[in-house]
Amino acid sequence: MRALDRTTWALTWRLTRAGGRTGLLVTGLAVAAAAVSTTLLLLCVAMNLGFQHRSDRADWRNPVESSRPVAVEAVGTTFTRGVPVTVVDVARLPGRTAPAPPGLDRFPAPGELWVSPALGALLDRLPADRHPVPGTPTGTLGRAALTHPGELVAVVGHRSTDPAVTTPREPDPRRVGDIASPTRVASFTGAPLTDGMGGIYESLARVATVLVVVPLLVLGASAARLSVSRRDERLAALRLIGATPGRIAGLTAAEALLTGTAGALLGVVGYAVLLPVAASLPLAGGAWYPADLWIGAPPLLAVTAGVVALVVISALAGLRQVVVGPLGVARRSRSRGASAVRAVVFVVVVAVYGWITKKYGSDDSMALYAFAALFLALAVIGPWVVRLLGRIVTALAKRPATLLAGRRLLDDPKAAWRIVSGLTLAGFVAGFFALLTLDAASSWGGRPDQLAIAVPDNKVTQVRTLAEQRLHAAGVTAVIGDDGFVAQGPSDSRQVTATVSGGPADLDRARTALTGLIPDQYPITGPEVNWSEERFTRDFTTITRMVLVVTFTVAITSAGITAAAAVLDRRRTYGLLHLAGTPLRVLDAARSRETLIPVTVLAGGAVATGLLCGGSMMLAGGDSSFDARGLIVLAVCCAAGFGGILAVGALSRPLLRAVTRQAGTRGE
Amino acid sequence: MNTPSAVLSGTGLFKSYGMTRALAGVDIGITAGESLAVMGPSGSGKSTLLHCLAGIERPDSGEVLLDGKRIDQLREPARSELRRTAFGFVFQSGQLLPELPADENVALPLMLGGTARREAVEQARQWFGPLGLQGLESRRPGQLSGGQAQRVAIARALVGRPKVIFADEPTGALDQTTGMEVIHLLAEVSRSQGAALVVVTHDANVARWCDRTVRVRDGLLAEAHTEAETGAEANAGYRR
Ligand SMILES: Nc1ncnc2c1ncn2[C@@H]1O[C@H](COP(=O)(O)OP(=O)(O)O)[C@@H](O)[C@H]1O
Ligand SMILES: [Mg+2]
């Protein structure tokens, strides 16, 4: 393409340098927006891949039966202060050579105890009578065995005849993945967990990414547009002296390419800098291995290229509206349309969404497509609503500022929509999550100070006596009992309970004393049964709050950038109106009205749509409940959004003042 | 130059931008209903003079009097109000709000002054006939020709019944024929309204429509030319 030849680059460079202070500021903003978009996109990708890496490294604890076994593997989960400790019992089958389990350099000999670094530190810290796993550590498990650095994992070596690897273990349907009966395996590769909490973090990360990506794209696009609106004047001058439209497009593309690339590269640097910070975020049980959040070169290149492409495309799209004729001023003979078809499309999409969630439930990939479709639907209906508002405001306007705002909404609904679109999408997200705060209340009714083991009916008396003896020997005061409530184990069993009233340290001692009483079980308290759900609920809240913070921040930033671009676009008219005695106050009031009116209606509508969609997912999914805290979060979000828009208006006021001061009566 | 009958006058006006001296001591007066052309080469200080007289910019020194009262020392909000109420402006181009129909563009100054919208639009529409704009009331500026847009701008400048109308290169973006039509209308309508008119131009054909012409060079008024000197005969034919 000739449009991107040497002359174009030379001109671009000259124009960029000749822009003066405002030009520099605008270029800086465009670069910064591209950088922020890139960084956040990369972090999103990193979170997705990171959760995947984590769960990949948990696969080996989900043993797969083999017809040519070399070893036996069994998994159990005990707890220390509510934190799970995964204990993997392994034994080599006689006469076979078994590979080393992940994180070990050899197969553990019988009696050996290998622990994760965090568990090792815990064992060092606690006295032996409170250790969650018995024995003295032989060595430390490597990264390959662990999902995250703080994870508590023990690998215990056994003889193939030991009860730990021969007694069948009853899986607990409430705690998928916590328990694996002794399994004859050929390797320690394992398999991904297919139900329970397996994969749920990855789904959440995917949904969060979709929610964050759209506002980020809006941000990148608005920055690109801003640089075009700064430039139109000079581009128009070039048109006058005979530059072809191709040359102008080339100049724009070249500049966008420069700023986009600079921004994307900065964004990569930002990602690298923030990686350790992101790695320190405690999600899914604790901080990350930084390597898990390093996404590798191909995704890095893909995201970077995507951002640059986006910047270039939106700059060219902005150009189409700015430079129409050689006289520079775009002469519009017709309002830019926004037909009622948009409203129809919106209603259809929302209805289809409701139908799909009813029919298929809250399957996460379904939700993903639904989100994407809903975002599109909001983007489709936005300009139409703005136009409608414009018509109403114009008809009702009594004061000049209101009239100006209404006419502007009516004349170019898409421009106003660009300012409020980010916030509208953010409002949707806020509405969606407001009622979706998961309910983490323990549903198993167990007491936090009561340890329980499931025992066959005929062994209850024997186990009770043994438990009493062990607790007595450990010097722990406890009330032993039994009842018929057993979620785990065959139907003809009861649970033996030990109620420890002496506080957490005593509970630790009781647990240590009772561990190994029956080879197939660790004693467990009621709340511990729900540990993974509770953890997920906490993380769900953390991640949704993060999504809200990011979407709102990004949305307000792009609203600010777009508002600045709108002032620059109209600087000549603003300037001349001011010269002719129109008070800045009126221009400013018009400007804020043309944002505040659509933001109130659209973001408000988006919140309602979000509530509706979140609600329909809730009804279909069933495992969430109404939560007043969600409404508080929603209120905070709305206040932040509204306050943000006001702040944006206040921040672009100096720019308005500057452009009106600059404008002379001279023609351009 | 400060004649007692002057509606607007400037005395000893100096104005510099950094090292550039745009006005170097100008004395000038405009009587009520008079039309004055300000000519001079590009960069000589014509626009700066207009800005100072119209209260857009404050001179570094000197006085500007409107009806005998100083306006150069007023603060910006007061000057802004003055520009809206006592003055009217016609610029080269781009002064109409693109999203407002022509009649609302004209009505805007009235609405800013507190006139109700319906009333303001009604008053605005009364200017469309005399300016040859019938039927264009609800067109937006993008749908008007350059000459039509300038006539809408003239209507807007006149609608508030100003004492002085300032026009800075009002024909600068128009072709010769349209430019002559526009300046003709501007001069005629200002006169019929009893408003003084100050036109900045570098076009002698435009200046010819005015009662009097002054020339600016390097921030100073050169010899003043009265109508008689520039050939009132030739003009008289045009003006009828
Ligand atoms: N805002 C400004 N900043 C700096 N210099 C200015 C400014 N306005 C005018 N000038 C300078 O003052 C001189 C007179 O300008 P101006 O009054 O616009 O001339 P004219 O209208 O006759 O072409 C010129 O040299 C111009 O460059
Ligand atoms: Mg000038």
Q: How far is the CA of A297 from the centre of ligand 2 (A)?
A: 57
| Domain extent for B112 | 93-161
Report if residue B201 sits inside a domain: no
Nearest residue (by CA) to ligand 1, atom 21, is B47
In a 3-state reduction of DSSP, which class is residue A503? coil
Residue written as token pair 């309602």: A608
Average pLDDT, chain A: 83
User: What does residue A73 show for φ and ψ, rounded to 5 degrees?
Assistant: -135, 130
Residues with a CB atom less than 6 Å from ligand 1: A 666; B 17, 20, 22, 40, 42-48
Q: Is the residue at A364 inside a domain?
A: no
Angle at alpha carbon of residue A121, lines to A115 and A127, rounded to 5°: 100
Question: Is B84 within 8 Å of A573 when comparing Cβ atoms?
Answer: no
Within a domain: B108: yes
Which range of residues forms the domain containing residue A34? Answer: 1-56+195-333
Q: How many CA atoms lie within 13 Å of A129's alpha carbon, on the beta-carbon side? A: 13
Percent of chain B clearing pLDDT 70 (strictly above) = 91
Question: Both A106 and A229 in a single domain?
Answer: no
Confidence of residue A472 (pLDDT cuts 50, 70, 90): very high
Lowest mean pLDDT among A34-48, A272-286, A613-627: A613-627
A577 and A656: one domain?
Answer: yes
Higher-pLDDT residue of A94, A366: A94
Instruction: Concatenate the DSSP letters of all residues of A105-171 into one string.
Output: SSPPPTT-EEE-HHHHHHHHHS-GGG-SS-S---EE--GGG-SSTT--EEEEEE-TTSGGGTS----
Percent composition of chain B: helix, strand, coil (DSSP 3-state, to 5): 35, 25, 40
What ligand has the least distance to the C-alpha of B45? Answer: 1
A interface with B, Cβ–Cβ < 8 A, is: 329, 331-333, 397-400, 403-404, 407-408, 410-412, 572-573, 576-584, 586, 664-668
Mean pLDDT of A405-429: 86
- Sign of the Cα pseudo-torsion (B7, B13, B16, B21, in order): positive
Tell how strand B35-39 and strand B196-200 pair up. parallel
Q: Is the CB of B7 inside 8 Å of chain A's CB atoms?
A: no
Mutate to test the interface with B, among A579, A587, A588, A593 (most CBs of B within 10 A): A579
CA end-to-end span of chain A, whole Å? 31
pLDDT for the residue A173: 77
B contacts of A395 (beta carbons < 8 Å): none
Domain presence at residue A607 = yes
Q: Is B108 on the interface with A (CB under 8 A)?
A: yes
| Res A371 pLDDT > 90 | no
Contact A403 B117 (CB under 8 A): yes
Check CB contact under 8 Å for B140 and A666: no
Give a yes or no: residue A122 inside a domain.
yes
- Taking CA atoms only, the protein residue closest to ligand 1 atom 14 is B45
Q: Which two tokens stand for residue A35?
A: 């950088």
Statement to judge: residues A179 and A236 lie in one domain: no
Instruction: Provide mean pLDDT across the span B59-82.
Output: 91
Asked whether residue A339 is domain-assigned, the answer is no
Do A431 and A488 lie in a common domain? Answer: no
Does position A273 have pLDDT exceeding 90, yes or no? yes
My answer on whether A483 and A584 are in the same domain is no
Substitution candidate for ligand 1 out of B48, B169, B216 with most atoms within 8 A of CB:
B48
* Ligand index nearest the alpha carbon of residue B219: 1
Say whether pLDDT at A430 is over 50: yes
Could you tell me the pLDDT band of residue A665, with boundaries at 50, 70 and 90? very low
CA A165 to the chain's CA centroid? 40
Which chain A residues have a beta carbon less than 8 Å from that of B92? 665-667
Domain boundary among the residues A529, A560, A581 is at: A529
Spatial distance between the Cα atoms of A441 and B35, rounded to a whole number of angstroms: 85
Instruction: Look at residue B1 and tell me whether its pLDDT is greater than 60.
Output: no
At residue A219 the predicted structure's pLDDT band, cuts being 50, 70 and 90, is confident
**B144 and chain A: CB distance < 8 Å anywhere?**
no
Q: What is the CA(A48)–ligand 1 centre distance, in A?
A: 59
The pLDDT-based confidence of A265 (bands split at 50, 70, 90) is: very high
pLDDT digits (tens, 9 = 90+) for A113-139: 999 999 999 999 999 999 999 999 999
Give pLDDT tens digits for B147-202. 999 999 999 999 999 999 999 999 988 888 999 999 999 999 999 999 999 999 98
Q: At A523, which CATH number?
A: 3.30.70
- C-alpha span between B13 and B24 (Å, rounded): 7
pLDDT reported for residue A648: 85
Number of domains in chain A: 4
CA-CA-CA-CA dihedral for A589, A591, A597, A599, to nearest 10 = -130
What pLDDT, on the 0 to 100 scale, is given for residue B234? Answer: 41
SS3 A371: helix
Q: Where do the DSSP E strands lie in A489-600?
A: 493-500
Q: For A297-342, write each residue's pLDDT tens digit.
A: 999 999 999 999 988 888 887 776 544 444 444 444 344 455 666 6
Same domain (yes/no): A49, A79: no
Tell whether B46 is within 8 A of chain A (Cβ).
no
Q: What average pLDDT does range B69-84 have in this prediction?
A: 90
pLDDT digits (tens, 9 = 90+) for A476-518: 888 998 887 766 556 678 889 999 988 889 999 999 999 988 8
Give the separation between CA A460 and CA A466, rounded to whole angstroms.
10
**Distance to chain B for A389, nearest Cα, Å:** 15
Highest mean pLDDT range out of A312-316, A414-418, A656-660, B163-167? Answer: B163-167
Contact B99 A399 (CB under 8 A): no
Residue B83 included in any domain: no
Contacts of B169 in chain A (CB under 8 A): 665-667
- Residue in A with minimal Cα distance to B140: A333
Q: Is residue B39 part of a domain?
A: no
Mutate to test the interface with A, among B57, B97, B118 (most CBs of A within 10 A): B97
Least confident piece of the model among A246-255, A257-266, A429-438, A658-667: A658-667
On whether both A290 and A227 belong to a single domain, the answer is yes
Please give the ipTM for the structure prediction.
0.84
In B, minimum Cα distance to A329 occurs at B94
pLDDT band at A540 (very low <50, low <70, confident <90, very high): confident
Ranking A352-366, A375-389, A569-583, B191-205 by mean pLDDT, the lowest is A352-366
CB A629 within 8 A of CB A537: no
The reply to whether A7 falls in a domain is yes
The least confident of A187-201, A280-294, B129-143 is A187-201
Residue B215 lies in a domain: no
Output the six-digit token pair for A169.
Answer: 């273990």
The mean per-residue pLDDT over the stretch A635-652 comes to 88
Q: What b/e readout covers B195-206, taking b as 16+ CB neighbours within 10 angstroms?
A: bbbbbbbebeeb
Contact assignment for A403 to B104 by CB distance below 8 Å: yes
Question: β-strand A478-483 against A450-456: which pairing, if any?
Answer: unpaired
Q: In this structure, which residue's CA is closest to atom 2 in ligand 1? A: B17
**Same domain, yes or no: A544 and A607:** yes
Length of chain B: 240
Instruction: Please tell me the predicted confidence (pLDDT) of residue A493.
Output: 81
> Do A432 and A542 share a structural domain?
yes
Cβ within 8 Å of residue A117, ≥6 positions away: A140, A141, A149
Tokens of B16: 């510099």
**DSSP for residue A602:** I
Residue A283 DSSP code: B
pLDDT band at residue B135 under the 50/70/90 scheme = very high
Mean pLDDT of chain B: 87
**Residue ranges in B194-221 assigned as alpha helix (H):** 204-207
Q: Are both A71 and A131 inside the same structural domain?
A: yes
User: Quick one: DSSP state of residue A520?
Assistant: T
How far apart are the CA of B52 and the centre of ligand 1, in A?
A: 12
Q: Tell me the average pLDDT across A534-552.
A: 87
Does any CB of chain A come closer than 8 Å to the CB of residue B143? Answer: yes
Ligand 2 centroid distance, CA of A296 (Å):
59
pLDDT at A373: 76
pLDDT tens-digit series, residues A146-203: 999 999 999 999 999 999 999 999 888 778 888 999 999 999 998 888 766 667 888 8
Residue at A229 is within a domain: yes
Enumerate helices (H) and strands (E) in chain B, giving the number of each: 8, 10
Q: Closest partner residue to A581 among B83, B99, B117, by Cβ?
A: B83
Q: What share of chain A is helix, strand, coil (3-state, %, to 5)?
A: 65, 10, 30
Which of A158, A185, A212 is the last residue in one of the domains?
A185
pLDDT digits (tens, 9 = 90+) for A510-536: 999 999 888 888 999 888 888 888 888
In a domain, A375, yes or no: no
Q: How confident is the model at residue A348 (pLDDT cuts 50, 70, 90)?
A: confident
Flag whether residue B117 sits within 8 Å of chain A, measured between CB atoms: yes
Tell me the C-alpha to C-alpha distance, in Å, between residue A572 and each of A663, B94, B97.
6, 7, 10
Contacts with A580 from chain B: Cβ below 8 Å: 83-84, 88-89, 95, 109, 156-157
Answer yes or no: is B59 within a domain: no
Cβ-defined contact of B94 to A573 (cutoff 8 Å): yes
Higher pLDDT, A68 or A11: A68
Into how many domains does chain B fold? 1
How many Å lie between the centroid of ligand 2 and the Cα of residue B10? 18
Residue A434, pLDDT score: 76
Give helix then strand counts, H and E, for chain A.
18, 9
Contacts of A404 in chain B (CB under 8 A): 97, 99-100
pLDDT, tens digit (0-9, with 9 covering 90-100), for B210-239: 999 999 998 898 854 444 444 443 444 343
Q: Which of B154, B142, B138 is nearest to B102 (CA)?
A: B138
Which of the four pLDDT bands, split at 50, 70 and 90, describes residue A625? low
Chain B residue with CA closest to A667: the answer is: B92
pLDDT at residue B238, rounded to an integer: 40
Q: How many CB atoms lie within 10 A of CB A332?
A: 17
Q: Which residues of A touch B89 (CB under 8 A)?
A: 576, 579-581, 665
Residue A421 shares a structural domain with residue A539: yes
CB contact under 8 A, B51 and A665: yes
Q: CB of B57 within 8 Å of any CB in chain A?
A: no
**C-alpha of residue A629 to centroid of ligand 2, in Å:** 63
The contacts of residue A385 (CB under 8 Å, 6+ apart) are: A343, A598, A601, A602, A605
Q: Are residues A421 and A554 in the same domain?
A: yes
Q: Which of the listed residues B44, B168, B200 should we mutate to test ligand 1's pocket, taking the one with most ligand atoms within 8 A of CB?
A: B44
The Cα of A312 is separated from the nearest Cα of chain B by a number of Å equal to: 28
Which of A108-112, A437-441, B166-170 shows the lowest per-residue confidence on average (mean pLDDT)? A437-441
Question: Average pLDDT, stretch A425-452?
Answer: 74
Task: Report chain B residues whose CB lies below 8 A from the CB of A584.
Answer: 80
Whole-number Å distance, alpha carbon A554 to ligand 2 midpoint, is 43
pLDDT bin (cut points 50, 70, 90) of residue A361 is low
